[in-house]
Structure 1
Amino acid sequence: MSDALNGVDRVTERRLLAFGTVVAAVATAGSLYFSEVMGLVPCELCWYQRILMYPLVVVLGVAAVEGRGSAYRTVLPLSILGAGVASYHSWLQVSGAASSCTIGGCASVQYRLAGLTIPNLALIAFLLVSAVVLAAWRLDR
C-alpha cells in the first residue's frame, strides 16, 4: 500500500473492499440458496459463474482486513471474466437462442427476482465487485 495514503483514504479503501466482500458473499449465499434450498439445478454457465464468484469472498475479505487495494490484480480477472459469462448467459435467456450447455438449459429462466433472472443478478454482482475494487485501487495508487 502506498505510504501517501492518509488515514481517511485508508478507511475508505477498506470500506470499499469490505463492501465488495459483502456483495460477493451475498451472491455466493444466493447461489447456494437457489440450488440447496429452492432445489434449482445450476446449468453449466451457472457453474462457471460460481467458480469465478466464490473465491472473491475470500480474496476481497483478506484484502479488506489488510487494506490492500492491490487485490485488483486477483479480483479483476475473476470479476471481468464472470461478468462476461453472466452477460452471455443473460443474452441467451433474452434471445432464446439454443445453447450447447451439457448441464441444464442455459437459455431457460428458472427464477426471477424483481424482474431479474439469476444471471442478471450475477452480472450486477460482478460489475459491482469490479467497480469497487477499481475504486479501492485508485485510492491505493
Structure 2
Amino acid sequence: MSKKVENLMLGSWLTALTAMLGSLYFSEIRMYEPCTLCWYQRIIMYPLVLILFIGYLKRDVNVALYSLWFSLIGMFTSLYHYSIQKLPFLTDAAPACGRVPCTGQYINWFGFVTIPFLAFTAFVVIFICSLLIIREK
C-alpha cells in the first residue's frame, strides 16, 4: 500500500473519530439532547470509526468501498437536516421529529455552522478520501 493511500485511510479514520467525539461532547458535556435526525447521523458515523480503524490496522483498502456508501448516506441525511434548519420553506413544513425539534440549532457559528453542517463536512471528507483510495487501488 502506498503512503498516500495509508494517509488517506488515516485521515478518514481521524475525521470519523473527531466527528464521533464531537457529537459526544455536545450531548454528554454540553448536555444538548440529540434530535431524531442527529441520532440517524450518529448511527451512520459511529460504525465508520470502527470500520476505518480496522481497515487502517489491517492495511485493507477495501474498506473504502464501505466507507464510501456509509458517508454518501450520511451526506444526504446531514444535508436534509441542515436544509430543514436553514431554509425557511422547509423549516415551516418540517415534520415533528421527537422530543427535540430537528429544526432547532444548538450552535450557529458564523451564522451557518450548525451540528448537521459539521456532520455533513465530516461525511464529505470521508467520502472524498474513500473515492481517492478507490481510485488509487
- TM-score under structure 2 normalisation? 0.90
The root-mean-square deviation of aligned C-alpha atoms, in Å, is 1.3
Counterpart contact for 1:92–1:99, Cα < 8 Å = no
Q: State the match for 1:50 in structure 2.
A: 42
| 1:12 equivalent in alignment to 2:4 | yes
Which of 118, 122, 126 aligns to 1:121? It is 118
Which of 13, 22, 25 aligns to 2:17? It is 25
Kindly provide the amino acid, as one letter, of the partner of residue 41 in structure 2: Q
| 1:87 equivalent in alignment to 2:79 | yes
Q: Which runs of 5+ in 2 are unaligned?
A: none
Kindly provide the amino acid, as one letter, of the partner of residue 58 in structure 2: E
Counterpart contact for 1:111–1:117, Cα < 8 Å = yes
Please give the alpha-carbon distance, in whole angstroms, between the structure 1 residues aligned to 2:47 and 2:109. Answer: 24
Q: State the match for 1:139 in structure 2.
A: 136
Q: State the match for 1:111 in structure 2.
A: 107
| 1:73 equivalent in alignment to 2:73 | no
Q: Which runs of 5+ in 1 are unaligned?
A: 1-8
Kindly provide the amino acid, as one letter, of the partner of residue 124 in structure 2: L
Q: What is the deviation of 1:78?
A: 1.1
Q: Deviations over 1:96-131 (max 9, x none)?
A: 233231241001111134440000000000000010
Q: Deviations over 1:4-40 (max 9, x none)?
A: xxxxx62211110000000000000000000000000
- TM-score under structure 1 normalisation? 0.88
Identity %: 33
Please give the alpha-carbon distance, in whole angstroms, between the structure 2 residues aligned to 1:127 and 1:103. Answer: 28
Q: What is the deviation of 1:60?
A: 0.9
Equivalent residues, number: 132
